[in-house]
Amino acid sequence: MKFRPLHDRVVVRRLNAEEKTAGGIIIPDTAKEKPMEGEIIAAGPGARNEQGQLVALDVKAGDHVLFGKWSGTEVKIDGEELLIMKESDIMGIIEATATGKKKAA
């Protein structure tokens, strides 16, 4: 089954939370908090403004985003647990940084 969100809604797959703390303590599944980071799987075409014009979304499929802890509606599509939320529930896009590069002195 293929799913296409409408208007300004997006489909998000939660990213897995860390299994260990910085000190090396392993966190059991029952004590883990739901991650607030995810990857956009699909995005709707956008919302309409007061003039009836289509306003495109700022996010696209493949973006890594940060969203509120209780944001979205949990759904199961093709056996995978996903979230459907409005673009306004997303706090921001997490951009990848080049960690392996050093600055020239």
Q: Does 30 reside within a domain?
A: no
Strands 54-55 and 9-14: unpaired
Q: Does 59 reside within a domain?
A: yes
Geometric angle at alpha carbon 47, from 43 and 50, rounded to 5°: 170
The CA–CA distances, whole Å, from 29 to 51, 60, 75, 96, 97 equal: 48, 30, 20, 27, 29
**pLDDT value at residue 105:** 46
Reported as a single tens digit per residue, the pLDDT across 43-79 is 999 888 899 899 888 899 899 999 988 888 899 988 8
Full residue range of the structural domain in which residue 1 is found? 1-15+36-93
Q: Does 55 reside within a domain?
A: yes
Q: How many domains does the chain have?
A: 1
**How much of the chain exceeds pLDDT 90, in percent?**
21
Q: Does 1 reside within a domain?
A: yes
